Amino acid sequence: MVRQPIQVVATGIVVAEASDGATVPGTKALVTLTAFVEFDGYGERKRWTGGPQGPMPLPSDGSTTTALLHLVRDFEEDLLPDLGIAGLRTSRFDFYAAPRRIEVAPSLRERLTLD
């Protein structure tokens, strides 16, 4: 198999509200976290995602921003092996050196106070 070279543009986490609508006392929201990698390859920009993980509670006490950043920091899903399995080629350094983003779904962001 010929491995296609790619350029990793960004990696990150998408934070969304859990879709089941459940609520838990003492939480502002239940969220899911989904890892993503964006790359240029085959002449176009693509985004691959992992599976959503969660739901995870955002506590109602304390800073929402701090709680959200802790969830994201502790979330581990590495999509680098998936790129290799798919026959795409990038170095580990380029993957981990790419900008890392946190994207909060607009509907969730409207409800939360992020400082």
Q: What is the pLDDT of residues 62-99, one digit of tens each?
A: 899 999 999 999 887 778 888 887 888 888 899 999 99
**pTM for the full predicted model:** 0.87
Q: What is the pLDDT of residues 5-44, one digit of tens each?
A: 889 999 999 999 997 667 788 898 999 999 999 999 878 9
- Strand-pairing partners, residue 48, are 37
Domain ranges of the chain: 4-108
Give one DSSP letter per residue of 18-78, joined into a string.
-TT----TTEEEEEEEEEEEEEEETTEEEEEE---EEEEEEESSS-HHHHHHHHHHH----
Residue 1 confidence class, pLDDT cut points 50, 70, 90: low
pLDDT value of residue 77: 76
